[in-house]
A = this chain, B = another copy of it.
Amino acid sequence: MKEGPDIALIGSLIGDPARANMLTALTGGKALTATELAGTAGITLQTASSHLSKLEAGGLITQRKQGRHRYFTLADDDVGLMIEGLMGFAAYRGFTRHRTGPKDPALRKARVCYNHLAGDYGVRMLDSLVAEEVITGVGDKLHLTPSGEDRMTTLGIDLPALTRLRRPLCRACLDWSERRSHLAGSLGQALLTLFLDKGWAKREPDSRAIRFTGTGETEFAKLFPLAVPSAVKRHHEDTVEA
C-alpha cells in the first residue's frame, strides 16, 4: 500500500492481450506502424490507436512521425529487457500461447531481442566473449576489458561513438529460450548490425528470427568459438535446472 514502486500500472499495461501482442511484436526491434500492429494484434485500427496511446502515456513505447505514417518502437532498451524478462518467466512456467513454446525452432536458434542477438547464438556469443576475457562482470552490469576494447575495434566497431551515447555499453539480458544471459546494450546492438551489414545474417520477414548465411555461420564460429566451461563453473551451474 505504501512502500515501493507501482507495479500495478505496468502490469495492467501488459495485462491486456492486445497490448501484450503489440509489445511482443515490437520486441522484434523493427519500427511498426499502427496498422501493422493492429494486424498482428488482431484488432481494428481504432482500438489499436487507443492502446498505443496508453502504452505511450505509460512510457513503454515512442512514436516517430514520418510522412503520413507513424512508426512505433519500444521506448528504450530497458523496456525490451523487461519484456524479455517477463517472457522468460512466463516460458519457464509453461505459459505459452500455443502449447508448444515457440513453434519455430529458428527462434530458439537466433532471433532479435529488441536490438541485439538472442537465442542459442546470442548466449553462445556472450559465453565466448566471457571465456576469452573480452567481457567481465557480475549481474546485469558487464564491462569491456582493455583487450576486449582492442578486439572490438579491430572488428570494426566504433567504440568511442558507442560510449558517447548515454546508454549502457554492455548489459546482460536474460534469454527466455535458453534461460541464460546474452549480450545487450549498445555493444550488443552494434554487433548485431555488424553481422547484418556484413551479410552474415538476415532478418526473416515478419518474424524475430534471424537466419545466418553459410559464410555467416563459419565467420561466427571463428569469431566466437564454443566456450569450454571450466570445471569450477560447471560445478554448481548444474544445480540450476529443477
Chain A residues proximal to chain B, CB less than 8 Å = 1-17, 19-21, 23-24, 40-42, 59, 78, 82-83, 85-93, 95-98, 101-104, 107, 126, 130, 135-146, 163, 166-170, 172, 174, 176, 180-182, 207-208, 232-233, 235-237, 239-240, 242
Whether B137 pairs with A138 at a CB distance below 8 angstroms is yes
Can you list 19 A-B contacts (CB < 8 A)? A1-B21, A6-B20, A6-B95, A7-B20, A7-B87, A8-B20, A11-B14, A15-B15, A78-B89, A82-B89, A136-B138, A136-B232, A139-B140, A139-B174, A140-B172, A141-B237, A143-B232, A163-B239, A168-B240
When distances are taken between beta carbons in the complex, the residues of chain B under 8 Å from A17 are 8
Chain B residue with minimal CB distance to A164? B239
When distances are taken between beta carbons in the complex, the residues of chain B under 8 Å from A9 are 90, 95
Quickly give the copy total for this chain: 2
When distances are taken between beta carbons in the complex, the residues of chain B under 8 Å from A12 are 11-12, 14-16
Known: A8-B15, A11-B20. A85 touches B87 (CB 8 A): no
Chain B residue with minimal CB distance to A207? B3
Q: Given the complex of chains A and B, what is the CA–CA distance between A13 and B146 in angstroms? A: 45
Q: Given the complex of chains A and B, what is the CA–CA distance between A23 and B168 in angstroms? A: 30
Q: Given the complex of chains A and B, what is the CA–CA distance between A17 and B10 in angstroms? A: 11
Q: Given the complex of chains A and B, what is the CA–CA distance between A2 and B137 in angstroms? A: 35
When distances are taken between beta carbons in the complex, the residues of chain B under 8 Å from A141 are 180-181, 237, 240
Chain B residue with minimal CB distance to A22? B1
Q: Given the complex of chains A and B, what is the CA–CA distance between A23 and B3 in angstroms? A: 12
Contact with A96, one of B6, B130, B169, B239 (Cβ below 8 angstroms) = B6
